Amino acid sequence: MNFFKTFLASCLGSLIALIVLVGIVFILLVGMVASISNSNEQVIVKNQSVLHLKLDGPITENEVEDPFEDLPIPGAVSATGLLPLKKAIQHAAADPKIEGIYLELNILMGGYGVARELRQAIEDFKQSGKWVVAYSEYYSEAAYYVASAADKVYLNPEGDLEFNGLSVEVTFFKKLFDKLDIKPQIFRVGDFKSAVEPFMLDHMSTENKLQLNELITDLHSTIIQDVAASRNIAAQRLREIADKMLVVDTRSAREHGLVDSLFYFDQVQQELRNRLRLTSEAKINFIKYNKYKRSVNATSTSKNEIAVIVADGEIYPGKAQQGEIGSDTFAEELRKARTNNCVKAIVLRINSPGGSALASDVMWREIKLATEVKPVIASMSDYAASGGYYLAMACDTIVAQPTTITGSIGVFSVLFDMSSFLDNKLGITFEEVKTGDVGELITVTRPLTTAEKNIWQKRTEQIYEGFTSKAAAGRDMPVSQLKAVASGRVWTGTQAKEKGLVDVLGNFEEAVKIAATAANVADDYKLRYYPIPKNFFQTWLGGMEENTQAQVLQQELGPFYESYQQVKKLKNMQGAQARMPFKLAIK
């Protein structure tokens, strides 16, 4: 009897496995067909079309090809690449078949550097004489900042609009670590290097409060000035509306001039028909961005190339992963661009809060070598802080948005002593045998000795001295002057320019123009982006390999797997870091 039960269970398991396998193969085949179809499909843009920009997903610097983006998969949201999106908007401005843009935006999944780049793309599009209409049921603060650049801003009558200034919230973990018997061992240089404060305090330090207050005040000032110009409202009046939160509902949003009308979706459609000179029953020729972008082809036959090397994410040693900057991958791309005679200039597009100090320095060296051969221009996005600034400081010219967050020239080192946690909570103990006075310098299984702590502090100070001296040389200023604006303090792009850390306030296109002019190819060049983004299947296969490794570890470690994951996460923060002093959540 037991034999038949086991046999039937095995058959059932095999059947389920077969069904799953067939499903996976089917999905892959559909994806391959869709990918081939998309690449070969000739996109036909109809006359009197409206470019529909529905920005409801994350916005990254570049984007990964997704063969399933046109399929109606529930809950699937693809990331939108900022640079390809701006290119499509620029193309639409000159496309006679595009009448205007319909912008649909609720919550912007990007920072204020990205937001300002989008605003400028919309403003440039309007210079062609075409219109932009924005509509939403709810505008977050950042979403409204982008939408306010449109000719008309509409809001659902029962929706909402957030316009009450900016705030920053910092999460602190000290009490959690106290409960878990985890002891951070911290080494830092500079009064403002507050990335480690969440591990050692349960509140903000006076220095951190000061820098955050000045940061968001300057950032908000730029937002107010931009919205005031777009909406034709006095900046002082807008500041009063935000400070006193006079917009509490849709009616007050309209009364104070932040929106033009309170419309339902059908009323917005009728407004678009009127602009297109259509009858009330006519269908609007909407063309979505993910389709329209396939009609945007590089037509330049120039032999002069400007290489755009994208650094998007936190900085780690080794090969790059999706959403991370790997020093090996980045350095290799720089070497290729430096030695390629067709590449006349390099633009580094940086969107990074920093990370590993060593990895940052490895990439800095390659940037420095590249500047000896051809122009290298830095273009800052949302962040170019700490390790992100480390990349920029070797460039010939640094271009940032006023809303970019940069600086944070400082270093910290942190190691987590988890010996009490492992002993008291898990019953795991360790013992070390060593040949000298100093043991393993990167460890979570015991506290550091006094001698080892002194070594770590000295290392941290040496890295800081290297960071500041190289930054001073790159900015052509005395080290003492550079250190006066360092100490780990963050600045907006506007503040950074005033302090000499940034050369030009502008967007990505401005950086490209500077690069082309410096290389004497201003009227004859083409852009190419590196690293070339992995396609969907490369990303999927890489993820499958990682998942397989994770499954093996989970089977081996059993109930200790979650603890292993936490230890691994903490270990990524260990060692010398050139990292922004906090994870910004500006609201």
Catalytic positions, written as ranges: 386
> Within 10 A of 443 (CB to CB), how many other CB atoms are there?
19
Q: Per the structure block, which two tokens stand in for 190?
A: 């500079």
Asked if 380 and 493 touch (Cβ cutoff 8 Å), the reply is yes
Asked if 456 and 443 touch (Cβ cutoff 8 Å), the reply is no
> Within 10 A of 227 (CB to CB), how many other CB atoms are there?
22
Burial 175-199 (b: 16+ CB within 10 A, else e): eebeeeebbbbbbbbbbbbbbbbbb
Element at 475 (helix H, strand E):
helix 450-475
Q: What is the DSSP string of 321-355?
A: -TTEEEHHHHHHHHHHHHH-TTEEEEEEEEEE-EE
User: Distance between CA atoms of 51 and 127, rounded to whole angstroms?
Assistant: 16
Asked if 531 and 320 touch (Cβ cutoff 8 Å), the reply is yes
Helix and strand numbers, DSSP H then E, in the chain: 21, 22
Asked if 67 and 122 touch (Cβ cutoff 8 Å), the reply is no
Element at 387 (helix H, strand E):
helix 387-392
Burial 129-155 (b: 16+ CB within 10 A, else e): ebbbbbbbebbbbbbbbbbbbbbbbbb
Kindly report the backbone phi and psi dihedral angles of residue 351, in degrees, each rounded to the nearest multiple of 5, phi listed first.
Answer: -140, 85
